[in-house]
Amino acid sequence: MNHGNDSAARHGPAHGSARLSAWYRQPIAWLGVLVFVASIAGCVWLIVVGNRYADTPLDTSHTVFGVPVSAHSAAKPPPTTDPPR
């Protein structure tokens, strides 16, 4: 009977295998981190490019939530000869 401070007796055989299966040793976790960082970097890049090339404002009188109600250079629809029903 061993009553000393034996590390193997205290932690058992499962302690060594738990250390081998830590989250940072799993390749799928690193793949997830890589995809997440790449998507955040892509979002930042799109924001920077969007600020660099701003849209030219349209000459409209009426907007809804800052969006023009009608297209600036759209052709008018052809007149209809049918009476309304």
Q: Residues 53, 59: contact at Cβ < 8 Å?
A: no
pLDDT at 3 over 70: no
Prediction pTM value: 0.45
pLDDT at 47: 93
Tens of pLDDT, residue by residue over 8-58, are 555 555 556 666 678 788 889 999 999 999 999 999 999 999 988 877 776
Q: Which residue has the higher pLDDT, 65 or 8?
A: 65
How many helices and strands (H and E) does the chain possess? 3, 2
